[in-house]
Amino acid sequence: MFKKVLIANRGEIACRIMQSAQPLGIHCIAIYSTVDKAAKHVALADSAYCVGGASSQASYLQQDKIIEIALRHQAKAIHPGYGFLSENADFAKKCIEAGIVFIGPKPSTIKAMGSKTHAKQLLEKAQVAQIPGYYGANQDPHHLLKEAKKIGFPVLIKASSGGGGRGMRVIHEEGDFLSALSSAKREAKSSFDNDTVLLEKYFIDPRHVEIQIAADTHGNVLHLFERDCSMQRRQQKIIEEAPAPALSTRVREQLSSMACNTAREVKYLGVGTVEFLVDKAEKVYFMEMNTRLQVEHAVTEMITGIDLVHWQLLIAANQPLPLRQEQIPIQGHAIEARIYAEDPNNAFMPSIGKIVYLKEPPQSRTLRLDSSIRENDTISSYYDPMLAKLIVHGQTREQAIEQLWIALNEYHIAGIDTNIAFLKKVLQSPDFKTPNLSTQYIENHLTQWTEEKNLSFKLLALAALYHHFHDDDNDEETCQCDPWKNSSGWRLLGNSRYTLSFLEGEKTISIGITSNHKEITLDCAKLSEKITLSCDEISIIKNQITLKTENIHWQAVIILQHHHCFVLSDTDNITLTVVDTAFHHTTSTLSKGQLTAPMPGVIVELLVSPNTRVKQDEPLLVLEAMKMEHTLLAPYEGIVTSLHCKRGDHVQKDSELLKLQRVGESQ
């Protein structure tokens, strides 16, 4: 086995590789960018070295610099993780030429399967149905448009060298094709250092099912069953499970056979995945082969008891696989939920900032958390917004869903937006439980899950009560709601009353608080809600507040940070700003007519100029942040009066990008 391995990646996967390698006595070398110096993967490594600047292009994609670090510190092997350089044949070749083992397949295999044309030809020999598409080398935009017309809309543009939804666009209308192509190519170049794309027919409501395979240098080729990865948003998986539910034995065996035949055809070495679409009639279509470890490999590990990273190391060290096909069992059911720093209520816009509070569910034999974050870490705009993966195991699918639901209720992150509350909505949806799965399921239900809702009186009441009784100088773990310990205006004779105002987004809402030595009443005129509680019905332990009466049982974790109040409950998470009503001015008067940056990023495309008239929801500009492009739309019909940025500019959060005068409004 290797004495030293350099991990050419960051975040959760770098930590995951160390968890398998270090117990084997392998010295793990981490690399980091200038903004990742204090990252978790750096802290866990045996040694770590800076590889370059903040952007992935300046750091984690610097092939020669990574190899130079490995050579300088006597690393005999490089593990690429997933993403970045994991499917880059040139990088694998450079490693071998430098005398370093690339923990993955041969460069020729990566190149062959990276070429979708070659992959298609191989699978035709195995009589696997192909998705209609264009896989050629001609990347001229107008040629690609011509091919898209032949395929018929809707079509899918897909980056040839990557995955994870990067460089992917679904095009429904011919007129949208060229702009989407340009965006997909930029994103692919930024993420994988290769802007080559392919085109495929976009199917309606298929399932995404994949087979995990492993092959060693001794001629052994095994499959480790299938995973269903149909739960996706923006062509990126968020929930995966193994084995695939409601799949016939015939299709399961067909998929496993095709995947192993594919591995043999390309003389595959290492751990890999063959991906398929399965339509409503259970007809199978080959999609692609990923020549690397998958993000969702953990669900396979949970149902088989096999450490796939350990297997990668064994194969790379020319050792045989330790099991035969008949020795690999399916034990129960596993589900994985990806935790992202993003706002599902705002088109899944990535979220950045400092994690001011983190409470993770406790790990056990049936619950695993692969995480890259710690409390007080800062999430930057430079990399993928995935924070962690929460994986559970149950004897049945129903048990796994219930366990994941409980774990998500115990998972609290404050300071940034996350998709935790959204994941719970997906888990509780009837079609998911049935299961009635498809790659478009989330898109079809998105409106009902993210439509604008009124603020919950329950959450506002919990926030108001916690704020009312909170004492920064009180170190006691339990708050007894003692009137002598708060400075809210309580008086010995009679009731005290004051108003506490909160701001969520641009909405201001007030809670009236009336209290005496026996009870406290909260009322909200705007919501026509009111509740009266005795002090013994209120419990505050550390950051958790509970209200328990004969009729209600409300509970939440509350984090106060300066003027911000983070409310984390089992139903939803909200961020409130405590408003000083004497000095507060609404943001609408301050930002009238301004379009500001939702996060730090780079302006990659300006789609308007001064005096351009635009319709509501018409694209104005494209901002690249967290390895993905985000198109900012006009909030209303108007005229662009001025631009305050140009292509290539690095902009900060809330910086003004342009001014837009509403039609019919005077300046």
CATH at 481: 3.30.700
Task: Please state the rounded mean pLDDT for residues 562-583.
Answer: 78
Lowest mean pLDDT among 190-194, 277-281, 500-504, 545-549: 190-194
> Beta-carbon neighbour count of residue 212 at 10 Å?
27
How many domains, in total, are found in the chain?
Answer: 5
Residue 338, helix vs strand vs coil: strand
Task: Provide the 8-state DSSP code for 173.
Answer: S
> Does residue 353 fall inside a structural domain?
yes
- 466 and 555, same domain (yes or no): yes
For position 471, what pLDDT does the model report?
62
For position 571, what pLDDT does the model report?
77
Domain containing 90 — which CATH number? 3.40.50.20
- 278 and 393, same domain (yes or no): yes
For position 503, what pLDDT does the model report?
86
- 441 and 292, same domain (yes or no): yes
- Tell me which residue of 504, 423, 233 sits closest to 347, measured CA to CA: 233
- 499 and 368, same domain (yes or no): no
Task: Please state the rounded mean pLDDT for residues 353-370.
Answer: 96
Dist. CA 596–CA 641, nearest whole Å: 14
Boundary (domain end) residue, out of 579, 609, 628: 579
CA within 13 Å, CB half, 69: 22
> Does residue 118 fall inside a structural domain?
no
Tell me the catalytic residues: 292
Buried b (16+ CB within 10 A) or exposed e, 254-291: bbbebbbbbbebbebbbbbbbbbbbeeeeebbbbbbbb
Boundary (domain end) residue, out of 409, 430, 449: 449
> Does residue 556 fall inside a structural domain?
yes
pTM (predicted TM-score): 0.83
Dist. CA 486–CA 496, nearest whole Å: 12
Dist. CA 111–CA 268, nearest whole Å: 12
Dist. CA 105–CA 68, nearest whole Å: 21
With a cut of 50, say whether residue 475 has pLDDT above it.
no
Boundary (domain end) residue, out of 579, 597, 618: 579
Dist. CA 534–CA 519, nearest whole Å: 4
For position 370, what pLDDT does the model report?
98
> Does residue 607 fall inside a structural domain?
yes
> In this structure, what is the dihedral angle of CA atoms 544, 547, 552, 558, given to the nearest 10 degrees?
-40
Per residue in 172-209, pLDDT tens? 999 999 999 998 898 888 777 788 888 988 888 999 99
- 307 and 330, same domain (yes or no): yes
The whole-angstrom distance between residue 178's C-alpha and the CA centroid of its chain comes to 27
Instruction: Please tell me which residue, 131 or 274, carries the higher pLDDT value.
Output: 274
% residues pLDDT > 70 (the chain): 90
**Residue 83 domain boundaries:** 4-103
Dist. CA 249–CA 48, nearest whole Å: 47
- 231 and 266, same domain (yes or no): yes
- 211 and 282, same domain (yes or no): yes
> Does residue 432 fall inside a structural domain?
yes
Q: Which residue has the tokens 């909160």?
A: 502
> Does residue 465 fall inside a structural domain?
yes
> Does residue 667 fall inside a structural domain?
no
- 605 and 566, same domain (yes or no): no
Per residue in 415-428, pLDDT tens? 999 999 999 999 99
- 629 and 496, same domain (yes or no): no
Q: Tell me how far CA of residue 654 lies from CA of 594, 598, 640, 658, in angstroms.
A: 10, 6, 18, 12
Q: Which residue has the tokens 């030595």?
A: 517
The whole-angstrom distance between residue 489's C-alpha and the CA centroid of its chain comes to 45
- The whole-chain average pLDDT of the chain stands at 89
Q: How many helices (H) and strands (E) does the chain have?
A: 17, 41
For position 102, what pLDDT does the model report?
98
For position 329, what pLDDT does the model report?
93
Buried b (16+ CB within 10 A) or exposed e, 26-56: bbbbbbbbebbeebbbbebbeebbebbeebb
Dist. CA 305–CA 321, nearest whole Å: 14
- 498 and 638, same domain (yes or no): no
> Beta-carbon neighbour count of residue 153 at 10 Å?
15
Per residue in 79-114, pLDDT tens? 999 999 999 999 999 999 999 999 999 999 998 887
> In this structure, what is the dihedral angle of CA atoms 360, 362, 365, 371, given to the nearest 10 degrees?
20
Q: Are strands 47-52 and 27-33 parallel, antiparallel or unpaired?
A: parallel
Name the β-bridge partners of 354: 378
- 502 and 395, same domain (yes or no): no
With a cut of 70, say whether residue 492 has pLDDT above it.
no
Per residue in 457-470, pLDDT tens? 999 999 999 998 88
- 628 and 557, same domain (yes or no): no
Task: Please state the rounded mean pLDDT for residues 642-667.
Answer: 84
Lowest mean pLDDT among 294-298, 384-388, 492-496, 629-633: 492-496
Residue 599, helix vs strand vs coil: coil
Q: Which residue has the tokens 């130079």?
A: 68
Amino acid sitting at position 422 = F
Dist. CA 87–CA 289, nearest whole Å: 11
Dist. CA 391–CA 367, nearest whole Å: 6
Task: Please state the rounded mean pLDDT for residues 509-515.
Answer: 92
Per residue in 586-644, pLDDT tens? 333 334 577 888 878 889 889 999 999 999 888 899 888 876 788 888 888 999 999 99
For position 482, what pLDDT does the model report?
54
> Does residue 114 fall inside a structural domain?
no
